[in-house]
Structure 1
Amino acid sequence: MNPPTKPLDITELRQSARQHIEEGAVTAGYSANREKVIELLNEALATELVCVLRYRRHHFMASGIHSHATAAEFLVHSNEEQGHADQLAERIVQLGGEPDFSPDSLSRRSHAEYVEGVTLGDMIRENLVAERIAIDSYRHAIEVVGADDPTTRRLFESILAVEEEHADELADLLTQVPAPTQAA
């Protein structure tokens, strides 16, 4: 059971809102470690951008009997990952940070890898691996942020839900392509 909270002092609230107004959305009531949250957001941003690029490549490189529908799915996922990247960058700016789009360090900061894949099955598998990495990364970020920054936590939770959908869709696609052959 939560301890009772003191009543909201409207006069104090109004005075506090007038202090440090240059900080925008970050008020005195923000209790998270802002630098750590921005770091988590920038890591997630890098991961999303690497996923956008990998999905785009796979969209254009997909070939074979099941390639048309799979390539279309790769493009949908790429667009959704780009939307996630935009949301993350927007939140970083709201918190007074700077989104890091530097291509020089993108793959190093990303949790997921950029693996090109040769066959359609390789591409699906690599995207599924990346989604599984993203799922666990977002779960970790949600745990770190906890109740200290509910807005960022909800953002991470909403992206996590989409990443889980992507993983489920890719697992279904994987059942439609032949398994890789083992060299004798």
Structure 2
Amino acid sequence: MADKITKDQLIALLNEDLAREYQAVITYRTYASAVPGRFRQELREFFTAEITDELGHAQILADKIVHMGGRPETVPAKVKYTEDPKEMLQNALADETETVERYVQRREQAEACGEYGLAVDFDDLIADETRHRDELRMMLKRWD
């Protein structure tokens, strides 16, 4: 179980997560537009489809930050730009893997802070991000 954290600490962590969800939206939109080569159509469709989930995650986080008395972050985390399809998938996989790890920790922190509804919300976010991670792993196998 996570150590007890304050509501303000949890809000700050949620804002970091929100910035990363914004980053994911921008990354996927940019990659969908920039992806070249023989897998363009498949990767464009994949990246475009991910945007809706990431926006939904951002909405959950922003709403909870406001409900907890905080102010939602408005600046995304830094986007890693590339025009190499394999690198796009590797970057996305690294980001999704990190997100799953952060959200498992955040779920424990939310529960430790008495935010039980948010902890349950993180179960859904973890499931979504795990599916994204697993799909990216499968897509990368074609480059092995």
Q: TM-score with structure 1 length normalisation?
A: 0.71
Residue 33 of structure 2 corresponds to which residue in structure 1?
60
Structure 2 residues without counterparts, runs of 5 or longer: none
Question: In the TM superposition, what whole-angstrom CA distance separates every residue of 1:81-136 from its partner, at most 9, and x where no partner exists?
Answer: 011101110111111211111x3xx32xxxxx521123111101100000011011
User: Sequence identity of aligned pairs in percent?
Assistant: 27
Segments of 4+ moved more than 3 angstroms = none
1:139 paired residue number = 104
Q: What pairs up with 1:35-54 in 2 under 5 angstroms?
A: 35-54=8-27
Q: Which amino acid aligns with 2:6?
A: N
1:161 alignment counterpart: 127
Contact 1:135 1:163 in 2 (8 A): yes
Q: Based on CA coordinates, which of the two structures has the bigger radius of gyration?
A: 1
Q: Which has the higher contact order (CA 8 A, sep 6+)?
A: 2
In the alignment, structure 1 residue 93 sits paired with structure 2 residue 66: yes
- The yes-or-no answer on 1:75 pairing with 2:27 is no
Q: Give the whole-Å Cα distance in 2 for the aligned partners of 1:164 and 1:54.
A: 18
Partner of 2:138: 172
For the pair 1:122 / 2:87, whether they are aligned, the reply is yes
SS in 1 for 2:79: coil
Please say if residues 18 and 62 of structure 2, whose CA atoms lie closer than 8 Å, have aligned partners that are also in contact: yes
CA–CA distance in structure 2, aligned partners of residues 59 and 122 of structure 1: 13
Structure 1 unmatched runs, 5+: 1-30, 108-112, 180-184
Using the TM superposition, give the Cα deviation of residue 32 of structure 1 relative to its aligned residue in structure 2, in angstroms.
6.7
RMSD: 1.7
TM-score scaled by structure 2? Answer: 0.89
Given that 1:52 and 1:82 are in contact with CA atoms closer than 8 Å, whether structure 2 keeps it comes out as: yes
For this pair of structures, how many residues does the alignment match? 140
Letter in 1 for 2:123: E
Q: Once the 2 structures are TM-superposed, how far is the Cα of residue 146 of structure 1 from its aligned partner?
A: 2.4
